[in-house]
Amino acid sequence: MRKVSIFQESSDKLLARIAESLTEMEVSEGQNIVLKGELGDSMYIILDGRVKVHDGDYIFSVLKTGDVFGKYYLIDQQERSATVTALSHTFLLRFNQDEFHRITQHENTIFKGILKTLVRRLRDMNVIEEQLAAQNTEILQQKNTLEKQKLELTELNATKDKFFSIIAHDLRSPISTLISLSEVLHTDMDLLEPQQQKDILESLHDLSRNYLKLLDNLLQWARVQSGRMIPEPAGFDISEVIHEVISFYRPYALDKQIRLVERNISPVIVYADMNMIRVVLRNLISNAIKFTQPGGEIHIIMINKVDWAEVIVQDNGLGMSPQVFEGLFKLDKTQSMAGTAGEKGTGLGLHLCKEFVELNKGTIKVESQKGFGSVFNFTIPKPA
């Protein structure tokens, strides 16, 4: 009896009187001891075993050896009801409630024991509640992780699909054109007029240059996706890189009768990976030339801010429809557009621009309206 929590402070004399009124019980696993709605008139002491107090599948508590349960009028006059079922083979002592009340009505030690038991149960319930809250937080974190992994998997699938699309169409088809043109030169060189030979050679040159750019972009993009391309930031003069890229593309622009206009290009030191920024500039200027009509203009503008430099590439070319604009930087929605001279593309270059700018802690934005040209601008941080 002394092992029962509510009797721990009671005298041996009182415990002897209580023991005389107890009835032994034995229940099997799964057997109901108390049913909900049947309040009964007894208190039960668990000698050995475990029981659950529940309402259907919802478990209020699990009681074990030394715990008590039943109808308590001593401290709570409100009648409560739940089902009690044995979780294992259990041995009980049954105490009639009226007899219990008669024996213990003047014994404060019993009241103290009951209060201590209730306090312990409340503490255990608080611990369980804290554990459940921690488990819920962990489950929520796992859910967020799974959703993030799902999104990453979707993006990886889009990357894979785009990769195979480029391999299957944007590379295979043009290479076939290269082979056809070279075969014409190889087999019919003597039959071609000088101007025809020149036109074929120019086509071969333009195609080769475009394929080299595409392969370079594809290589850079693959390195980014595999995580092998890590920025190596350093301080450099952004105006020198701008002049270098403009000089590289000026012959191509002149060939299409397009003016490259430099505005406010002055020495400014920025902090980024110079090669990545060079790739961004090459793609933006190349795209602007591609989508600008002969006689058009492309303005390359630099704005010097306190913490960063902003570069703007503005053209008065074809512009973009809302559908193309919406999927511009989304790899799974990219729509390829032909240039003003029939140049083909994949949309990969702009996606690479976004990757490189963000890897260097900058931002990239675009404004465009179909028939009125496009404006791309990106920022590069300055040294801290």
The 10s digit of each residue's pLDDT in 212-243 is 766 776 677 666 666 667 888 999 999 999 99
| Residue extent(s) of CATH 3.30.565.10 domains in the chain | 232-384
pLDDT at 331: 57
Q: Where are the alpha helices (DSSP H) in the chain?
A: 12-20, 97-104, 108-165, 172-188, 194-225, 238-255, 274-290, 322-326, 348-359
Indicate the range of 28-32, 170-174, 262-266, 282-286 predicted with least confidence. 170-174
Contact of 250 with 214, CB cutoff 8 Å: no
Q: Which residue type occupies 335?
A: Q
pLDDT at 114: 62
**Three-class SS state of 78:** coil
| Residue 329 pLDDT class (50, 70, 90 cuts) | low
CATH class of 5-106: mainly beta
pLDDT at 318: 82
| Residue 77 pLDDT class (50, 70, 90 cuts) | very low
Backbone angles phi, psi at 297, to 5 degrees: -130, 145
Cα distance between residue 264 and residue 300, in whole Å: 9
Q: How many residues does the chain have?
A: 384
Burial 92-112 (b: 16+ CB within 10 A, else e): bbbbbbebbeebbeebeebee
Ordered DSSP codes for 89-126:
SEEEEEEEHHHHHHHHTT-HHHHHHHHHHHHHHHHHHH
For the segment 84-113, the average pLDDT, to the nearest whole number, is 78
The 10s digit of each residue's pLDDT in 147-165 is 888 887 887 777 666 666 5
For the segment 297-313, the average pLDDT, to the nearest whole number, is 94
For the segment 205-211, the average pLDDT, to the nearest whole number, is 72
Distance of CA 126 to the CA centre of its chain: 33
The 10s digit of each residue's pLDDT in 162-190 is 666 555 555 665 677 678 778 877 788 77
CATH number of 232-384: 3.30.565.10
| Residue extent(s) of CATH 2.60.120.10 domains in the chain | 5-106
